[in-house]
Structure 1
Amino acid sequence: MRLILVSNRLPVQWDGTPNVGGLATGLSSFLSHWKSQGNEVLWVGWPGKSISEKEQNHYANQMHNEHGTIPVFLKQKLADSFYNGFCNKTIWPLFHYFTAHCEFSDSTFNSYEEANEEFAKKIREIYQPGDWVWVHDYHLFLLPGILRNEFPNILMSFFLHIPFPTFEIFRLLPERFRTKILKGILGADLIGFHTQSYTQYFLRSLLRCLGIENERGIIYFQNHLTKTAAFPMGINVEQFSKYANSKECDSIANQINTNHKNLKQILSVDRLDYTKGVLQRLNAFELFLKQNPDWIKRCKLVLVLVPSRTDVSSYQSMKRAIDEKVGAINGSFGTLDWTPILYQYKGFPFEELVPLYKNTHVMLVTPFRDGMNLVAKEFLVSQKNGMLVLSEMAGASAELPEAILVNPNDVSGMANAIKEAIEIEESEILKRNEVMISRLKENSVMDWANKIYYETEETAKRNLNFQTKSISPKSDVLLPKSNRPIFILFDYDGTLVPFQSLPHLAIPSKELIESILQLSKFSNVSIAIISGRDRKFLESIFTDLPLHLIAEHGAWHKPPDLTEWNSLFYSNVDWKKEIKSHLDEFTKRVPGSFTEEKEFSLVWHFRNADPDIGLNAAREMLDELSQISSNSGFFVQRGNKIIEVREYGTGKGKAARKILPDIEQETFVFGDDTTDEDMFREIPENAITVKIGKSETIAKYRFHNTEDVHSWIGSLINHLQAVESNAT
């Protein structure tokens, strides 16, 4: 099997030298294992530099043959606007809650769209059915949707390595940006986040921005289901612990300790970025020294800062501020034989970083906001008796609660945490670290990647079952197979007419009424409209049409040849008064909602309410009413943006059974809602049942929308006309 791994940058630089750190390093052990199983890996990404057109073919062949990579060529102007523009001046600061740094530009978003299209173009060239496509990170939010439109059955995962923000932050994106981003991500079979919080923030943004609900993390959108879940990224625990216990590592660690004159080592390792809170960390260390002069000359802060975005002016300013702060602390507290901070502005290879971890007594990982932060995990598995001080804003904090958790905005709190960490008993450190290390061993990067693959495959199988039911309204499968009588049952809202903001606005077109009338004139065709609507409404819409009308989910029936309605059961509806007052209370609490009263039922509508408030109220209502409905003469059912409370004994399934003639016939049933599942379940097995919309169903087939129903009616009319013509 082939894995097509897609990320903004390739695992090697444009000249073929490996990229240190990041996704390439994190996934190396999984990719090695994947290849050892006889599978293939192709890594698609931008090489990090504009390559001239005349060199592109040669360069692409070389990168493929030597490194298994497929470069996406972006012109320098496009790359700058896409990467330095929308990615790093809009998404990066916004998703890390640095809203003051955000720029919202149509030109950079257009570049973002164009770059995602360029990635899609490259994948189109290499994709083969059966490939697993794994898209990574915020640079490529639009790519899953583009690929899904091109390859409906593609096996595809998307993983976000940075935080997903709360809805209140996410909605700061202009509507035209955020809508495309959300719809783009939904093209994947599986969307992975580092933490459950990020997953919930994404689901809430879907609800609030697009009105899309989820069922336990499963989303139905455009005839495709997507699963969302939290997958905390692990590390290669064995690689770090094995090297940490080697003689080579011990030798380097001992040398570091000698050079530092056996000082207690406090370590900070970060990429240069404003989200990392490096300056606040230095302020906290300075305050620690001021408040604890007894630790002067007894400890040392090793500050490792990895260069990043060195050509961006704001990063250059940040670097200068850090340099000045380091100089100020060393100048204020340093002596001829002791320097408080050892400052290293460079990246460290694995072989030097692990000994640094091993020799550390206190590890400071205190970003303002971080998707996960693997440095914290690397440190833990590289030693045993060092204490981790971890920001509660880092995704890793959900997995590592035994660390000393701090608020990175609280300089005083961080100074106190440094003191606690440097003075804590070694037995306590060992106890805490043992628990965290054990947890990390159970969720290595190998486990992480395998879980994502497994969940993607399982979701794709569900999608296949989901999509095999979809059928063209013009398919011969949906036409009568004999000359037997035909009985057709249509639901109304969501089946014959689309939903509207207010129920009375959902009126069929003249063309639809004419088609139904034309269909009803065939001598062997009977039609029933079976709806939750009341009698008055149905009668006003289908005046003089020779149809069965069933109102209030089967409470009332008017045959085509009668003017009077018949009750299909008897009831005194004693429960209604109490329940109506209950629903009215919710109506007062939820602006935009209203209660509709019918003879045998009550319906609470929340289509026009704030999506989040309405959905939460609906869940609360369901819970409350379900507790009091037992032996109370009514039952509660969730519908499409409604909660319906109706009399026991009513139901579309029971009503359908009562009106269907007891003869050999061809039966067709169309419905969109949970209430229509009753019909699909109760009618004879040989009936053709069709679900309209995207939710799960027991129906045999599925239409996308009401227009498909109209199209089917037209096809049936043409078919019956042809049959009559042939008969004559």
Structure 2
Amino acid sequence: MRLILVSNRLPVQWDGTPNVGGLATGLSSFLSRWKSLGNEVVWVGWPGKSIPEKEQRNYSKKMLEEHGTIPVFLKQKLADSFYNGFCNKTIWPLFHYFTANCEFSDLTFASYEEANQEFAKAIKEIYQPGDWVWVHDYHLFLLPGILRSEFPNILLSFFLHIPFPTFEVFRLLPERIRSKILEGVLGADLIGFHTQSYTQYFLRSLLRCLGIENERGIIYFQNHLTKAAAFPMGINVEQFSKYANSDECETIANQINVNHKNLKQILSVDRLDYTKGVLQRLNAFELFLKNNPQWIKKCKLVLVLVPSRTDVSSYQSMKRAIDEKIGAINGSFGTLDWTPILYQYKGFPFEELVPLYKNTHVMLVTPFRDGMNLVAKEFLVSQKNGMLVLSEMAGASAELPEAILVNPNDLSGMADAIKEAIEMEESEINIRNQVMVSRLKENSVMEWAKKIFNETEETANQNLNFQTKSIPPHSDSLLPKSNSPIFILFDYDGTLVPFQSFPHLAVPSKELVNSLTQLSKFSNVSVAIISGRDRKFLESIFFDMPFHLVAEHGAWHRAPNQTEWQALFFSNAEWKKEIKSHLEEFSKRVPGSFTEEKEFSLVWHFRNADPDIGLNAAREMLDELSQISSNSGFFVQRGNKIIEVREYGTGKGKAALKILPNTSIQTFVFGDDTTDEDMFRELPDHAISVKIGKSETIAKFRFQSTDDVHLWIQNLIKHLTKVHHDVTQI
């Protein structure tokens, strides 16, 4: 199998030298394992530099042959607007809760769209059915949707390496932008996040922004299902622990200790970025020294700051502020034979970083906000006696509660945490670290990638089952097999007519009325409208059509060309008064909702309510009513933006069987809701059942919308007209 990895940057720089750190380093062990099993890997990404058009062909060939990479060529102006613009001035600060740093620009978002299209073009040139495409991070939110529209059965994963914000923050994006981002990422089979919180924030944003609900993380959108779930990214535990225990690492660590004169080492390793809280960390260390003078000349802070975005003025200002703070602390507390802070403005290779971890007594990982932060995990598996001080705002904190958790905005709390960590008994540190390390071993980067692949495949298989039922309305499979009588059952709302904000607005179009009128003129065709609507409404719509009308989910039946309604069952409906007052209480609590009363049922509508409030209230109502429904003469059912409470004995399935002239007749049944599953289940096996919409079903086929039902009716009319013409010619 071939894996097409897609990220903003390639694992090598434009000149072929490796990129240090980041995704390439994190995935290296998994990719080695993947290749060892006989699989292929191709990495698609931007080389980091604009390549002249005349050189692109030879450059692509060289990069593929030497590094297994496919470069995406972006003109420098586009790359700047896409990456430095929308990615780093809008998405990055917003998703890290630095809303004051955000810039909202249609121009940079247009560049973002164009860049995602360019990535899609590069993938289209190499994609083959059976490939697994794994898209990474916030630079490429739109790519899954573009690829899905081009290759409907593509095996596609998306993983977000930064936090996904709460809905209240996410909705700061203009509606036209946030909708495209959500719809784009829904093109994936699987959307992965570092934590359960990020997953829930994403699902809530879907509900609030697009009105899309989920069923335990499964989302139905555009005839495709997507799973959203948490997959905390791990590290190569074996690689770090093996090197940490090697003689080479021990020698380097001992040398560091000699150079530091056996001082207690406090370590901070970060990329230069305002989300990392480096300046706040320095302030906390300064406060620690002020509050605990006994630790002066007994400890040292080693601050490793990896250069980042050195050409951006705000980052240059940030570095100056950090430099000045380090100078102030060293000037205030330092002596001729002791400097509080050892500052290294550069990246460290693996072979030097692990000895640094191994020699550390207190590790400070205190970002203002971080998707995961693998440094915390690398530190834990590289030593035994060091204590981790970890920000509550880092994704890693969900996995590592045994660390000393701090709020990075609380200076005194961080200073106290440094003191607690540096003075903690070695036995206590070992107990805590053993628990965390054993957890990290169970969720290594290998297991992380394996889970993502397996769940992507599982969801893709569900999609295959889901999509095999989809059928065009003009398919011959949906036409009668002979000129013998046929019986057609239609649900009303969501099947013949689309849903409306208020039930009385859902009336059929003139075109549909004309088609149904034509259909009613064929002598071998019987039509039934079987709905949750009441008798009065159905009469007002189909008053002059010779149809079976079934109201209130099977409670009432009016035969064709008759005026009287017959009850299909009898009841005293004693439960209604109590339940009605219950539903009306919810209607008062939830603006936009209302209660509809029918003779044998009650319906609570929340289509016009705030989607989040309405859904929460619906869940609460279902829970409460289910507890009192036993032996109470009624049952509760969830529908499309409704909760319906109806009498036992009613139901579309039993009503359909009662009005069917015989079980051998050619039968067609169309419905969109959970109530229609009764009909699909009860009708004979030979019946052609069609589900309208995206939710799960036992129906044999699926239409995408009410428009498909109208097209099927028109196609049936053409077919019946032709058959009738052929018969009369004979």
TM-score higher than 0.5: yes
2:702 equivalent in structure 1? 702
State the match for 2:15 in structure 1: 15
* Contact residue 160 and residue 192 of structure 1 kept, 8 A: yes
Counterparts of 1:189 and 1:96 in 2: how far apart (Å)? 26
Cα distance between partner residues in 2 of 1:511 and 1:250 = 82
1:538, 1:243 → 2: CA distance?
A: 76
Q: Name the aligned partner's letter for residue 687 of structure 1.
A: A
Partner of residue 389, structure 1: 389
Question: Match of 2:320?
Answer: 320
Question: 1:444-523, aligned counterparts within 5 Å?
Answer: 444-523=444-523
Distance 2:5 2:149 in 1: 19
Q: Where does residue 419 of structure 2 map in the other structure?
A: 419
Read off the aligned partner of 1:563 and give its amino acid letter: T
Asked if the contact 1:485–1:664 (Cα under 8 Å) also holds between the matched residues in 2, the reply is no
The yes-or-no answer on 1:614 pairing with 2:593 is no
SS at match of 2:543: coil
- In 1, the alpha carbon distance for the partners of 2:311 and 2:13 equals 17
4+ long deviations beyond 3 Å: none
| Distance in 1 of aligned mates of 2:602 and 2:465 | 35
Task: Provide Cα deviations, 1:468-497, integer angstroms capped at 9, x if missing partner.
Answer: 000000000000001221000000000000
Q: Hey, what's the Cα distance between the residues in 2 that align with 1:410 and 1:291? A: 15
| Contact kept in structure 1, 2:129 and 2:154, CA below 8 Å | yes
Equivalents in 1 of 2:109, 2:180: separation in Å? 10
Contact 1:240 1:354 in 2 (8 A): yes
2:339 is aligned with 1:339? yes
Cα shift readout 1:38-58 (whole Å, capped 9, x = no counterpart):
000000000001111111111
The alpha-carbon deviation at position 510 of structure 1 amounts to 1.2
Aligned twin of 1:683: 683
In 1, Cα distance between the equivalents of 2:683 and 2:393? 55
* Counterpart Cα distance in 2 of 1:494 and 1:313: 55
Contact 1:155 1:457 (8 Å CA) reproduced: yes
Equivalence map 1:212-611=2 (5 Å): 212-611=212-611
Corresponding residue for 1:2? 2
- Residues 1:61 and 2:61 aligned together: yes
- Alpha-carbon separation, structure 2, partners of 1:174 and 1:662: 57
Matched residue, 1:639:
639
Separation (CA, whole Å) in 1 of partners of 2:409 and 2:150? 46
The answer to whether the Cα contact below 8 Å between 2:671 and 2:692 also exists between their aligned partners in 1 is yes
SS of the residue 2:214 aligns to: coil
Aligned partner of residue 156 in structure 1, secondary structure: strand
Offset, 1:543: 1.3
**In the TM superposition, what whole-angstrom CA distance separates every residue of 1:238-260 from its partner, at most 9, and x where no partner exists?**
00000000010011001100000
Q: Distance in 2 between matches of 1:200 and 1:124?
A: 32
Which range moved further: 663-672 or 415-424? 663-672
Q: Secondary structure at the match of 2:146?
A: helix
* In structure 2, C-alpha distance between the alignment counterparts of 1:662 and 1:436, rounded to whole Å: 67
Q: Does 1:41 align with 2:41?
A: yes
> What are the Cα deviations for residues 408-437 of structure 1, in whole angstroms up to 9, with x where unaligned?
000100000000000000000000000000
Query: Contact between 1:680 and 1:689, CA under 8 Å: does it hold in 2?
Result: yes
Asked if the contact 1:44/1:72 (under 8 Å) is kept, the reply is: yes
Query: 1 CA distance for matches of 2:664 and 2:278?
Result: 79
Cα distance, 1:561 vs structure 2: 2.4
Q: Tell me what 1:666 maps to.
A: 666
Determine if contact 2:663/2:684 at 8 Å carries over to the other structure.
no
1:85-104 matches, within 5 Å, as 85-104=85-104
TM-score of the superposition, structure 2-length normalised?
Answer: 1.00
Aligned-residue sequence identity (percent) comes to 87
Q: Does the 8 Å CA contact 2:469/2:702 hold for their aligned counterparts? A: yes
Residue 562 of structure 1 and its aligned partner are, at CA, apart by 1.0
Cα distance, 1:514 vs structure 2: 1.1
The answer (yes or no) to whether the contact 1:46–1:71 under 8 Å persists in 2 is yes
Distance 1:20 1:426 in 2: 34
Q: CA RMSD in A?
A: 0.4
Given that residues 484 and 664 in structure 1 are in contact (C-alpha distance below 8 angstroms), is that contact kept between their aligned partners in structure 2? Answer: no
Gap change, CA 1:61 and 1:635, over 3 Å in 2: same
Per-residue deviation, 1:608: 0.2
**What's the secondary structure of 2:684's corresponding residue?**
coil
| 2:483 and 2:723 in contact (8 A); partners too | no
SS at match of 1:416: helix
**Structure 2 equivalent of residue 161 of structure 1:** 161
Q: What code does the residue aligned with 1:497 have? A: V
Alpha-carbon deviation of 1:664?
A: 3.0
Q: Distance in 2 between matches of 1:66 and 1:117?
A: 26
How far apart, in 2, do the equivalents of 1:404 and 1:484 lie? 77
In structure 2, the residue matched to 1:186 is: 186
Query: For residue 202 of structure 1, what is the aligned residue in structure 2?
Result: 202
Q: Name the amino acid aligned to 1:82.
A: F
- Unpaired segments of 5 or more residues in structure 1? none
Q: Is the 8 A contact 2:491 2:529 kept in 1?
A: yes
Q: Distance in 1 between matches of 2:261 and 2:51?
A: 50
What is the letter of the counterpart of residue 672 of structure 1? D
Residues in 2 aligned to 1:55 and 1:258: alpha-carbon distance in whole angstroms: 52
Aligned to 2:28: 28
- After TM superposition, the score normalised by the length of structure 1 is 1.00
Q: Give a deviation string over 1:253-306, Cα, whole Å, max 9, x none.
A: 011000000000000000000000000000000000000001000000000000
- Residue by residue over 1:438-493, the C-alpha shift from the partner in whole angstroms, topping out at 9 and shown as x without a partner, is 00000000000000000000000000000000000000000000122100000000
Partner amino acid, structure 2, of 1:567? A
Q: Is the 8 A contact 2:279 2:325 kept in 1?
A: yes
Give matches, 1:645-664, under 5 Å: 645-662=645-662, 664=664
- Measured in 2, the distance between the counterparts of 1:134 and 1:487 equals 48
- CA distance in structure 1 between the aligned counterparts of 2:391 and 2:469, rounded to whole angstroms: 48
Letter aligned with residue 507 of structure 2:
I
**Aligned-residue offset at 1:117:** 0.2
Q: CA deviation at 1:663?
A: 5.5
Deviation at 1:662, TM superposition (A): 1.8
Contact 1:267 1:364 (C-alpha < 8 Å) held by counterparts: yes
Structure 1 position 517, deviation (Å): 1.1
Q: What SS is found at the alignment partner of 1:596?
A: strand
- The 2-side partners of 1:370 and 1:122 are apart by 31
Equivalences for 1:131-142 in 2 at 5 Å? Answer: 131-142=131-142
Question: What is the distance in 1 between the residues matched to 2:663 and 2:287?
Answer: 89
Structure 2: tracts of 5 or more residues without a match: none
Contact kept? 2:145, 2:183, Cα under 8 Å: yes
Q: Would the aligned equivalents of 1:83 and 1:139 in 2 still touch at CA under 8 Å?
A: yes
